[in-house]
Every structure is written in structure tokens, then in C-alpha cells.
């Protein structure tokens, strides 16, 4: 049982930061992996959300965004008006707004926007989308998270207006922190995703085909969300996926650059940070809740992952004026 109740938080990055590009280690040397606003801030802190306009992102690059991937990030590109050439893995299509393009982590994508195309690019950590607390609604949204989708909205102007308004509000919240911003983000993101899912169902849209490896990776992340508190060993996750441990590690490294064990430790450390910030539970209580038998070992684990003891981490976060 989760004794701490529901909570949600996002890690926000200043809108003025720049995009950092890292050399890809993927199959094609022509495909780049982008880390938004600094490698450390996004790859290793899964509580992350960012939004910007299509104009702000693409005008600097002559309205062309070359093929690239994002590790452990889900993107929704919403074209409110204008036209764009869209590349998803090996396929290419031309789309006209209003249109949504959903892009799970690891999918190669690129855009060739018509000048002055209007819309938004919403980027969210995958972990925020498959959180175990939302297990009941996961089946509804799995088709969006598993594979890329191109979804026109020309035949449903009401839904197009709803998505546009929600993205505009997220953009406003991002630029000016106000009371309850975290909760507002949660509600608006879920509203957008459910509207996309309904449109997908009404049009009977089939996701763009991605390979079995990506589907296995998505399934692994879902299993982690469901069982990280139980301290499953990597071998048990591998068995649940009918894979060897070595193959599971190769799979994870191909999408994230990290082994399965490292991803498990990331998730446990993230939950520990959440509980230290958003609950009054003691370090000992948190240790037991996360499946540790020895609170002292939990403290060493936490300091190794964050550089701070649980007590010092909580003190530092509580002293910050930034709204959570």
C-alpha cells in the first residue's frame, strides 16, 4: 500500500536555455540524439516537462528539424495551422494543420515546416506517462505511448480548439509560475492525451509501425513502474519479457544508454526524492516503502545517487523558493 497518497511534480527548465546535442550511438551515424536544455537535467531527472512554439524551435533552423531521437522523452507536436513534411523512422508524410504528431522516446523523427507554421512542441518524460498511480487509465493511452501517430483534426474543429487552448495554457503556465502549476500541468497534459486518444479511436487511426524492440522497451518501463517498490531483480524483469538478462541490458542501452539495472536505480532514486520533497515521512519510512530492508543501506544508496544524504537533500529542497 502507498502510505503517502497521491502527488505529482515536474522539474522545470528555464525557457531561455539552449538545445544541447550529443553524438548518437545508434545504428545510423546520421541520426542525432538531442537532450533538451542540458543532458543532465533531462536524461537523469525523469520529472521533466517542456513546451515551446513551433516558430521558436524551427525558425532558427530555416524551419527544418533534421532526423533525431529523444531518449526517454515523449513528444507531441501539434500543428495548429500550416503544413509540414514529417519523417517518422523510415516513413515520410506531408500533413496540414490542425494535426497532432505523437512521438515516443527512441523514434527517429524530423520535420520540414512550411514557413510561419503555427503550433506547439510538448515534451514530457516517459515516466510521467506510465506512472503506476495511473495504471487504471494506462490501457486507454498505451496506443499513444507505444508507437508514433499522425492524427489530423480537420474533421473535428471542437477537439482542435480544445487541444490548442490546453497547449496555450501550458505555455502560459510555463512562462509564469503560479499557485498550483504542477497540478495544472497534470490535468492539462492528461486532457490533451485523452483528446488525442478519442480522435484516434473515432478515425480508427493505426499507429506508425515501429519494431518489436521498441515495444519490448516500453513494456519494460511499464513493468518497472508496477514493481520497482518490490525490488525485482533484473533477471525477473527479463523473465517477464521472455528475454535473457544480457539481451534486456542491450535493449535498454540501445534506447537510453543505460543498463536495465541503472534504469531501476534511477526510478527508485526518483521516488525517494519525491517522497522527501512532498511527504513528511522519515527517511526510515521511505526506505521501507521502497523495499529496502536496511534504512542505513538506503541512505548510502541515496547519497551515492544524488551526492546528498536524505536529510540534507530534504533540507536543501525545503529552502528553495521555487514552486513545486
Give mean pLDDT, residues 74-85.
Answer: 94
22 touches 33 (CB < 8 A):
yes
Encode pLDDT of 215-249 as tens digits: 788 889 888 888 999 999 999 999 999 999 999 99
Encode pLDDT of 89-147 as tens digits: 767 899 999 999 999 877 888 999 999 999 999 998 776 676 655 666 667 777 777 77
Q: Can you name the residues that pair with 53 across neighbouring β-strands?
A: 120
What is the SS3 assignment for 69?
A: strand
What is the Rg, in whole angstroms, of the alpha carbon atoms belonging to the chain? 20
Select the CATH number that applies to the domain covering 212-318 from these four: 1.10.10.60, 3.20.20.120, 3.60.9.10, 3.40.630.10: 1.10.10.60
Give mean pLDDT, residues 244-273.
Answer: 89
78 pLDDT higher than 70: yes
Residue holding cell 495548429?
80
Rounded Cα–Cα distance for residues 165 and 290 (Å): 39
Residue 276 — φ and ψ, nearest 5°?
-65, -30
Domain boundaries, the chain: 50-203, 212-318
pLDDT of residue 159: 94
Averaged pLDDT of the chain = 78
DSSP state of 207: P
What separation, in Å, do the N-terminal and C-terminal C-alpha atoms of the chain show? Answer: 25
Least confident window among 79-83, 157-161, 184-188, 275-279? 275-279
* CATH no. of 50-203: 2.60.120.280
Query: 222: which residues sit within 8 A by CB, 6+ positions away?
Result: 130, 138
182 band by pLDDT with thresholds 50, 70 and 90: confident
- Three cell numbers, residue 69: 531521437
DSSP state of 104: -
* CB-based burial label for 176 (10 Å; 0-12, 13-18, 19+): exposed
pLDDT of residue 117: 95
pLDDT of residue 312: 93
118 touches 63 (CB < 8 A):
no
Rounded Cα–Cα distance for residues 106 and 262 (Å): 18
76 band by pLDDT with thresholds 50, 70 and 90: very high
Length of the chain: 324
Residue by residue, DSSP assigns 113-161 as EPTT-EEEEEEEEHHHHS-GGGHHHHHHHHHHHHS-EEEE-TT-HHHHH
pLDDT of residue 26: 36
Rounded Cα–Cα distance for residues 88 and 86 (Å): 7
153 pLDDT higher than 60: yes
Rounded Cα–Cα distance for residues 232 and 260 (Å): 11
How many C-beta atoms surround the C-beta of residue 177 within 10 A?
Answer: 11
170 touches 177 (CB < 8 A):
no
CA 50 vs CA 86, 227, 244: distances in Å: 21, 28, 36
pLDDT of residue 247: 92
What is the SS3 assignment for 96?
A: strand
54 touches 64 (CB < 8 A):
no
Amino acid at each position: 500500500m502507498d502510505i503517502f497518497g497521491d502527488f505529482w511534480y515536474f522539474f522545470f527548465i528555464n525557457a531561455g536555455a539552449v538545445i544541447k546535442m550529443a553524438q548518437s550511438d545508434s545504428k545510423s551515424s546520421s541520426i542525432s540524439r538531442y537532450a533538451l536544455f542540458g543532458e543532465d537535467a533531462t536524461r537523469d531527472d525523469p520529472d521533466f516537462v517542456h513546451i515551446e512554439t513551433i516558430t521558436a524551435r524551427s525558425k532558427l533552423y530555416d524551419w527544418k528539424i533534421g532526423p533525431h531521437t529523444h531518449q526517454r522523452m515523449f513528444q507531441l507536436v501539434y500543428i495548429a495551422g500550416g503544413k509540414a513534411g514529417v519523417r517518422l523512422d523510415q516513413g515520410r508524410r506531408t500533413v496540414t494543420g490542425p494535426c497532432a504528431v505523437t512521438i515516443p522516446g527512441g523514434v527517429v523523427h524530423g520535420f520540414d515546416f512550411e514557413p510561419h507554421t503555427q503550433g506547439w512542441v510538448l515534451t514530457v518524460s516517459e515516466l510521467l506517462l506510465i506512472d503506476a498511480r495511473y495504471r487504471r487509465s494506462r490501457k486507454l493511452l498505451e496506443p499513444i505511448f507505444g508507437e508514433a501517430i499522425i492524427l489530423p483534426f480537420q474533421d473535428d474543429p471542437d477537439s482542435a480548439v480544445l487541444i490548442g487552448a490546453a497547449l496555450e495554457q501550458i505555455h502560459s503556465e510555463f512562462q509564469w509560475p503560479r499557485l498550483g502549476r504542477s497540478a495544472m500541468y497534470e490535468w492539462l497534459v492528461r486532457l490533451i492525451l485523452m483528446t488525442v486518444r478519442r480522435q484516434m479511436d473515432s478515425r480508427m487511426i493505426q499507429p506508425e509501425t515501429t519494431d518489436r524492440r521498441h515495444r519490448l522497451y516500453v513494456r519494460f518501463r511499464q513493468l518497472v513502474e508496477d514493481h520497482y517498490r518490490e525490488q525485482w531483480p533484473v533477471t525477473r524483469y527479463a523473465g517477464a519479457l521472455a528475454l535473457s538478462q544480457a539481451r534486456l541490458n542491450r535493449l535498454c542501452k540501445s534506447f537510453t544508454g543505460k543498463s536495465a539495472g541503472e534504469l531501476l536505480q534511477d526510478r527508485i532514486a526518483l521516488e525517494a526524492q519525491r517522497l522527501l520533497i512532498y511527504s513528511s515521512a522519515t527517511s526510515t519510512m521511505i526506505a521501507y516503502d521502497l523495499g529496502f530492508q536496511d534504512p542505513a543501506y538506503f541512505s548510502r544508496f541515496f547519497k551515492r545517487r544524488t551526492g546528498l544524504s536524505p536529510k540534507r537533500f530534504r533540507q536543501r529542497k525545503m529552502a528553495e523558493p521555487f514552486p513545486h
